[in-house]
Chains A and B, each alone.
Chain A
Amino acid sequence: MNHPDLTVTLGRLKLANPVMTASGTFGYGEEYAGIVDLNRLGALVVKGISLRPRPGNPPPRIVETAAGMLNAIGLQNVGLTAFIRDKLPYLRPLAPALVVNILGETEDEYVEIAAALSDQEGVDAIELNISCPNVAAGGLVFGADPVATSRLTARVRAVTRKTLLVKLTPNVTDITVMARAAVDAGADGLTVINTLLGLAVDLTTRRPRLANVTGGLSGPAIKPVALRMVWQVARAVDVPVIGVGGISTWQDAVEFFIAGATAIQIGTANFFNPTVTMNVLEGITAFLIDSGVAKITDLIGTLRLT
């Protein structure tokens, strides 16, 4: 059998394959350059960018948990100006689609960042982070409210022709409500899910193990939750869903495609297996060949319920 067709489409954006990195787990790409062939990625999603540089939260910021980790980084990043000046020139010539994850404390900040990035050649898509659980302003404030989600998405949509993705939080009662709000306001695709809010306690001191008290749970522990939400959202909307949450093997990725994901993002697994993106890409390819599936799109949303 010939090499399977791995191309997928997000809005007007065509990806050579459906393997993406998740924001905040792959830096600005260059950190992995000696370990991963960056040009084989379908898309590269960079660390969330805010209007001004952010120092982030005090340490401790991470704690390992059973098959997962909690983080409360607080969106430390170089800021929009330094990103465009220092990071974008390295990323621009790379083969994968470049997705810039953005975060504002106010609607106006999101709009300003999106407008500035819209003028930048080499930026293929904007991913709205309305789901960070670790910052006081912005993030979840938008993502947990369908009216705020809708208004913010519409305002950003109005200033950019780039592919617009909205990254949803699992920390809501019904994620499909947020999903529909974002899509009705003009999102080209949805990233499902961000981290789950969690807590870890030190028995000796009886203090939280994170300085921020709570943090976002990620890693293999959250995969079943992410998979369920991808399935729910994919049935509720008619735009592509990007599945993310606990993927660390090609088998995990294939589960997400069957549940309805058009593409997948790999996050925490980059930390414990720096070549995981390549391993997953090779595994998906072999799986399609072995199962006689010619196109990855023939696999998407094929969950059998009867």
Chain B
Amino acid sequence: MDKNQSQFQTDPNPTSGITEPFSGSPRHIQAKVVATRRITNDVYHLSLMGEEIATAARPGQFVMVRVSQAVDPLLPRPFSIHRVMGDRFDILFRVVGQGTRILARTAVGETFAVTGPLGRGFLLAPGRVLLVAGGIGLAPLFFLAQDLISRGFCRPDEVTVLAGGRGRADILCREELTELGVRLQITTEDGSLGRPGLVTSLVQEQLEAASEPIRVVSCGPKAMLQAVAGLAAAAGCPCQVSLETGMACGLGVCLGCVVRKADTPGPAYLRVCREGPVFDAGEVFNS
């Protein structure tokens, strides 16, 4: 990344009303767990104390958490920042392997080495926005919704959250979203909550019903992101996607987290940790 790009620009640009989402210098801290909550069978919520990270974090950015002092598992795990409150930052995660299993057993008072905030977050811009979440992909989108409203970019009713999952347990943060006052629509594949089917059907309806282009922001499984990006492109709407990959450092150094850059003749790769995790859909999905 260009060095002079890697600066925070936290104040909205007065002419465009857009806040650029670039990352500044990350911090490496020992963060104490101040609250833990089991949300569903395999989804957990942790609150960590860390003023340096909480105050600098932008929606869409992530932290690397070293889950163990031992060397197995060796590498820290990336988690998108779910929300910040004062000097606390929260993560919301699903148990998927060795690292998240350890994290799920965490007790209040334990500390973890955390590096962050990392990566390029969502573009903040005024006006109607469609946030499309697949399962745990809601984690960073909640922070975005909250930030768009609290910073005055959007009225609550300008933010529509479309949440999809396999079943009702995959639909997260319903109460919190209702409290924010955003419009919430739900789909589940098994029909146990909201409309049966895939979230992309709601995306299509919303885009078709809109009188002017809406910004689309999505986080979830890759196949879903690709489908959402396709629908947005067909409707002429700008679309940002937040990607997840395995990574060793989170700092742009190991080059292990890359994804193929879209629409290039030869191979070219983008680092999810630095050029992302939030990308314009056209950067990572071929047109």
Contacts and interface: CB of A to CB of B under 8 A. Distances in A.
A56 to B, nearest CB: 6
Interface in A143-173: none
A35 B26 CA distance: 7
Interface string A53-68: 0011011111110111
A93 interface: no
A281 B115 CA distance: 21
B246 A60 contact: yes
Interface stretch (B39-47, B216-224, B225-233, B248-256): B248-256
B86 interface: no
Interface stretch (B10-18, B177-185, B264-272): B264-272
Nearest to A248: B71
Contacts of A270: 249, 253
Contacts of B257: 59, 62
| Interface-central residue, A34, A61, A66, A69, by most chain B CB under 10 Å | A61
Contacts of B28: 35, 274-275
B259 interface: yes
Contacts of B247: 62
B173 interface: no
A34 B25 contact: yes
Contacts, number: 106
A179 B130 CA distance: 61
A271 B25 contact: no
Given A30-B3, A34-B26, A35-B115, A25 B73 contact: no
A272 B74 contact: yes
A155 B28 CA distance: 43
A97 to B, nearest CB: 20
B85 to A, nearest CB: 24
Nearest to B272: A59
B269 A56 contact: yes
Interface string B54-74: 000000000000100001111
Nearest to B245: A59
B253 A26 contact: yes
A27 interface: yes
B267 A68 contact: no
Given A34-B25, A56-B258, A248-B71, A273 B66 contact: yes
Contacts of A35: 25-28, 115
B263 to A, nearest CB: 15
A81 interface: no
Contacts of A55: 266-269
B162 to A, nearest CB: 29
A62 B252 contact: no
The secondary-structure label for the interface of chain B is loop
B272 to A, nearest CB: 10
A73 interface: yes
B166 interface: no
Contacts of B74: 64, 67-69, 219-220, 268, 272
B193 interface: no
B71 A61 contact: no
A31 interface: yes
A90 B3 contact: yes
Contacts of B115: 35, 274
A88 to B, nearest CB: 13
A305 interface: no
Nearest to B25: A34
A33 interface: yes
Nearest to A74: B255
A220 B69 CA distance: 13
Interface string B14-33: 00000000001111100000
A32 B73 CA distance: 23
B276 interface: no
Given A68-B74, A220-B74, A273-B113, A61 B256 contact: yes
A34 B260 CA distance: 28
B254 A31 contact: no
Interface of A: 24-27, 30-35, 47, 55-56, 58-64, 66-69, 71, 73, 76, 90, 219-220, 248, 268, 270-275
Given A31-B251, A62-B254, 12 more contacts: A25-B253, A27-B251, A27-B253, A35-B26, A55-B267, A59-B258, A61-B256, A61-B258, A69-B74, A73-B255, A268-B74, A274-B249
30 contacts: A24-B255, A25-B249, A30-B3, A32-B251, A34-B24, A35-B25, A35-B28, A35-B115, A55-B267, A56-B255, A61-B256, A62-B247, A62-B254, A64-B74, A64-B75, A69-B248, A71-B254, A73-B254, A76-B255, A76-B258, A76-B269, A219-B74, A270-B249, A271-B76, A271-B249, A272-B66, A272-B71, A272-B75, A274-B28, A274-B115
